Amino acid sequence: MSQKTMIALATSLTAFVLVIAGGMFARLSGASAATEPAAAVSTAARDIWNQREAAYQSLIDQANQRLLATEQSSTATAASATEGASQGFTANLTPAQAAILALMAAPGADLTAQPELVAFQGIPAYEVPTTMGVVYIDATTGGVLYNGTARMTAAAVQGGSGDDEYDD
């Protein structure tokens, strides 16, 4: 080989090695530069995540506070409903007698639970749950204080009268 060919080959080989080395250097430099924006994006994403998590926890706390307030309210309501019974109301009727009177006031109904002594508008009464509604019987006189089944019976009668509207 001639000297010119050797110089051309060496120059080409040197250029090739420099291009490869430059590419590797650029690649390594670019990898570290690419890591920095990824870290910045990761930090921004983490901040957004933390904000959403804080908002979510705040909503959970608010819901828990509302549940606690509702529970306290229902406990207070239940306490005031049984206040009359705890005040030592005396009943002239037994729960069985109150059940019979309630079933007489609500024909066709059945008991769903045992009568319970409560205060109905400040009056000692038995709360008698039936399949058609609740009946409150005065615990001292045996009178019906409230008949929740009367509305259902009236609605059933009104609904039954219009059945033949489309019959021919």
Mean pLDDT estimate for the chain: 80
Residues forming beta bridges with residue 127, ordered by sequence position: 116, 136
Both tokens of 42, joined, read 């990761």
| 49: pLDDT strictly greater than 50 | yes
Most confident of 76-85, 130-139, 156-165: 130-139
- pLDDT above 70 coverage of the chain, percent: 73
Q: Evaluate if pTM is beyond 0.75.
A: no
- The fold of the 83-160 domain, in CATH, is Nuclear Transport Factor 2; Chain: A, (3.10.450)
| Residue 119: strand, helix, or coil | strand
**Residue in 167, 168, 125, 117 with CA at minimum distance from that of residue 146:** 125
- pLDDT value at 87 more than 70: no
Who contacts 94 (Cβ-Cβ below 8 Å, separation ≥6)? none
- Nearest-angstrom CA–CA distance, 91 and 136: 13
Cα–Cα distances (Å) from 59 to 40, 49, 67, in that order, read 29, 15, 12
More confident residue, 89 or 5: 5
pLDDT band at 20 (very low <50, low <70, confident <90, very high): very high
Judged against a pLDDT cut of 90, whether residue 157 lies above it is answered with no
- Give the bridge partners for 116, in sequence order: 127
For residue 84, what pLDDT is reported?
47
Examine the pLDDT at 59 and tell me if it is beyond 80.
yes
* Residue ranges per structural domain of the chain: 1-80, 83-160
Q: Which two structure tokens, joined as six digits, stand for 80?
A: 């005031």
pLDDT band (50, 70, 90) for residue 168: very low
In this structure, which amino acid lies at residue 44?
A
User: CA dihedral defined by 10, 16, 17, 21, rounded to 10 degrees?
Assistant: 160
Counts of helices then strands in the chain (DSSP H, E) = 4, 4
At residue 85, does pLDDT exceed 50? no
- 89 has a pLDDT exceeding 90: no
| Cα-Cα end-to-end distance for the chain | 119
